Structure 1
Amino acid sequence: MSVEEFVAANFTRATGAGLDPHEYQRVTGELASLDGWGEAFVRAGRSHLVRAREAASPISAGEHYQVAARWFHFATLAPQAGQALAAAEADAAMGRALAVLEPHARRIEGPGFTGWLRGRADSPITVIVVPGLDSSKEEFHAVTSALLRRDVAVFAMDGPGQGALASTSTVRPDYHQVIGRVIDALGVDRVRLVGLSLGGYYVAETAAWETRVAAVATVSGPFRLDWDGLPTPVRDLLTRRAGGARPARDFARQVDLSTLAPRITVPLLVVDGGQDLIPGVTNGERLARLAPHGEYLLVPHGDHLLGNARPDWLPATADWLSGEPK
């Protein structure tokens, strides 16, 4: 994939995650090849760290730390050295942001997971936000913010092979084991889940096994993966996150909700973009159809993660997760 194609393919994902579109165009416009992606994005992130240190108010400082975290996270998307350092910088910048903007946010860690618990401590609803193959807890701030505005407690996490844990762990198809430990650590009786991209599979798989899940929403999640049909960049990414070609193939073979979907007896909302056409990844319509209480929301013009169509799904999905799903 050329640098121009990569920049275009990640535009709505980046802007949907909160990067300023004009700054994104300036940073990527200077790239001669993908080899410079990580360095350029890290440099942009560090420029916001400087602005945070020079800010006239704590709020401005915290906002710059938040933006820096997103730039550092997006530095990890291109396959090159330094990804672990960029992920660590994203993690640290997010911690600085929350220390200023949300001092009551709590870092919670355990075997195979780490993340931030945000929102009112006595909220009756807790939602766990689960990222995908190359995303992290720093990416889906719009989802988290929408839920926080609805008075929901939110745990944004990294799991095996994700974000801060990507350099020390590999992806696993039985993600419900990790979510179970997260629920234990949160100390709540019931949780709701929202998973994005591959995270959609993770939360659906969890809902089929974990009895403490009260409701689940998937956004651009695969129903099944076909290894041979996946584009080369996706296969390469999965190979890195799985720790080799053979475990990547094994992982892909197990990502299949055909038999698990009927076991999801809690309310389920499946959100898809009609322009999300990644070869080798089947869409979520079948998941919604096979689950006993599945609903399907298709946004015809939405792309993968629907960063180009946020008003068409995010408010409704946040309302669904924070209300009383039927």
Structure 2
Amino acid sequence: MSATEFAAANLSRATGAGLDPHEYLRVTGELADLDQWGEAFMRTAHGHLARAGQAATTVSAGEHFQVAARWFHVATLGPNRESALAAAEADTAMERALDLLEPEARRLEGPGFTGWLRGPADAAATAVVVPGLDSSKEEFHDVIAALLRRGMAVFAMDGPGQGVLAATSTVRADYHHVIGQVIDALGTQSVGLVGLSLGGYYVTESAARESRVAAAVTVSGPFRLHWDVLPAPVQDLLIQRAGGEEAARRFAGQVDLSTLAPRTTCPLLAVDGGLDVIPGVTNGESLARLAPHGHYLRIPHGDHLLGNARPDWLATAADWLSGELT
């Protein structure tokens, strides 16, 4: 795939992560080769760090740190020999942003997770945002903001093989153990979960096996993975995040909600894009049909993660989760 094709394919995802579309097009338009992706995005992120250091106010500095974190994260989505460094830089930049913009935000960590708890301390409900295979707690800016605007506390996390933990851990299919750790650390009786891409599987698996999950939303989540027909880039990414091909094949074989969906007794909303067609991944309609309290929302023109169709689903999903939790 050429740099131009890769940039076009990731435009809606990048803007959903909070990147300015004009800056994104300018940076990607200068790529002569896709191998330059990581270097170009990290250079742009460092530019925002420099602006933060020169900012006249703490608000401006915090905003530049936040944007830098997102550029560092998106630097990991393409070829990048320094992906681990970029993920660490994203984590540090977000910490500096929240120190300035939301000093009440708290870092929570456990054996299998790390992340930021944001929002009011006396919130009536808490939502946990779970990333996917190559996403992180720095990515889903629009989802987190929508939940915060509705008065919820929001924990944006990295789990095993994700974000800043990707360099030191591998993916695991029994994600409910991680969510259990998160709920313990939050000190709450129940949570709502929002899972994006592979995170959609993680939250459904967790909802089926962790009784403290009160409601769940999946966005572009797989119902079942078929290793042999997954695109080569997805296979390569799974091999990297699982620690080898044998482990990746074993993990893919465990991603199957056919028996877990009927056990997901909490309210569940599955959101799909009609243009999201990834070989080896079946859509959320089966999940919503098998879950006892499942609901299905399909946006015909939506792509993977529906970054090109946010007005059609984001407010609806945020309102639905808020209503179910409160």
Query: Which residue of structure 1 aligns with residue 136 of structure 2?
Result: 136
Q: Is 2:19–2:70's contact at 8 Å kept on the other side of the alignment?
A: yes
1:218-237 equivalences under 5 Å are 218-237=218-237
Aligned-partner SS, 1:201: helix
Query: Which residue of structure 1 aligns with residue 191 of structure 2?
Result: 191
1:44-55 equivalences under 5 Å are 44-55=44-55
Tell me which amino acid in the other structure corresponds to 1:272. Answer: D
- Please state how far the C-alpha of 1:324 moved relative to its aligned partner: 2.7
- Please state how far the C-alpha of 1:250 moved relative to its aligned partner: 0.4
- Please state how far the C-alpha of 1:8 moved relative to its aligned partner: 1.2
Distance 1:238 1:202 in 2: 15
Tell me which amino acid in the other structure corresponds to 2:85. Answer: L
Distance 1:16 1:141 in 2: 7
Gaps (5+ residues) in structure 1? none
**TM (normalized to structure 2)?**
0.99
Residue by residue, what CA displacement relative to the aligned partner does 1:62-86 show, whole Å, maximum 9, x if unpaired? 1111110000000111233100000
RMSD of aligned residue pairs (Cα, Å): 1.0
Residue by residue, what CA displacement relative to the aligned partner does 1:284-308 show, whole Å, maximum 9, x if unpaired? 1000000000000000000000000
Q: Is 1:229–1:279's contact at 8 Å kept on the other side of the alignment?
A: yes
Whether 1:127 aligns to 2:134 is no
Residue by residue, what CA displacement relative to the aligned partner does 1:198-250 show, whole Å, maximum 9, x if unpaired? 00000000000000000000000000111111111111011100111110000
1:261-276 equivalences under 5 Å are 261-276=261-276
Q: Which deviates more from structure 2 when the two are superposed, residues 31-40 or residues 264-273?
A: 31-40
Query: Which residue of structure 1 aligns with residue 317 of structure 2?
Result: 317
Query: Which residue of structure 1 aligns with residue 291 of structure 2?
Result: 291
Query: Which residue of structure 1 aligns with residue 104 of structure 2?
Result: 104
Residue by residue, what CA displacement relative to the aligned partner does 1:158-193 show, whole Å, maximum 9, x if unpaired? 000000100000000000000000100110010000
Distance 2:27 2:42 in 1: 10
- Please state how far the C-alpha of 1:325 moved relative to its aligned partner: 6.5
Query: Which residue of structure 1 aligns with residue 22 of structure 2?
Result: 22
Query: Which residue of structure 2 aligns with residue 210 of structure 1?
Result: 210
Query: Which residue of structure 2 aligns with residue 58 of structure 1?
Result: 58
- Please state how far the C-alpha of 1:3 moved relative to its aligned partner: 1.6
Tell me which amino acid in the other structure corresponds to 1:188. Answer: T
Tell me which amino acid in the other structure corresponds to 1:158. Answer: D
Runs of 4+ in 1 over 4 A off after TM superposition: none
- Please state how far the C-alpha of 1:35 moved relative to its aligned partner: 1.2
Q: Is 2:192–2:325's contact at 8 Å kept on the other side of the alignment?
A: no
Query: Which residue of structure 2 aligns with residue 241 of structure 1?
Result: 241
Distance 1:112 1:34 in 2: 33
Q: Is 1:204–1:216's contact at 8 Å kept on the other side of the alignment?
A: yes
Aligned-partner SS, 2:324: coil
Distance 2:21 2:325 in 1: 34
Gaps (5+ residues) in structure 2? none
**TM (normalized to structure 1)?**
0.99
Residue by residue, what CA displacement relative to the aligned partner does 1:23-55 show, whole Å, maximum 9, x if unpaired? 011111111112111000000001001111111
Q: Which deviates more from structure 2 when the two are superposed, residues 256-265 or residues 31-40?
A: 31-40
CA 1:325–1:289 in 2, change beyond 3 Å: closer, same or farther?
farther
Distance 2:130 2:324 in 1: 21
Percentage identity across aligned positions? Answer: 75
Q: Is 1:170–1:241's contact at 8 Å kept on the other side of the alignment?
A: yes
Distance 1:126 1:16 in 2: 22
Query: Which residue of structure 1 aligns with residue 94 of structure 2?
Result: 94
Distance 2:163 2:143 in 1: 17
Distance 1:79 1:206 in 2: 31
Query: Which residue of structure 2 aligns with residue 2 of structure 1?
Result: 2
Distance 2:192 2:115 in 1: 16
Aligned-partner SS, 1:324: helix
Aligned-partner SS, 1:73: helix
Q: Is 2:201–2:221's contact at 8 Å kept on the other side of the alignment?
A: yes
Distance 1:254 1:130 in 2: 18
Q: Is 1:267–1:325's contact at 8 Å kept on the other side of the alignment?
A: no
Distance 2:104 2:185 in 1: 17
Q: Is 1:262–1:291's contact at 8 Å kept on the other side of the alignment?
A: yes
Aligned-partner SS, 1:156: strand
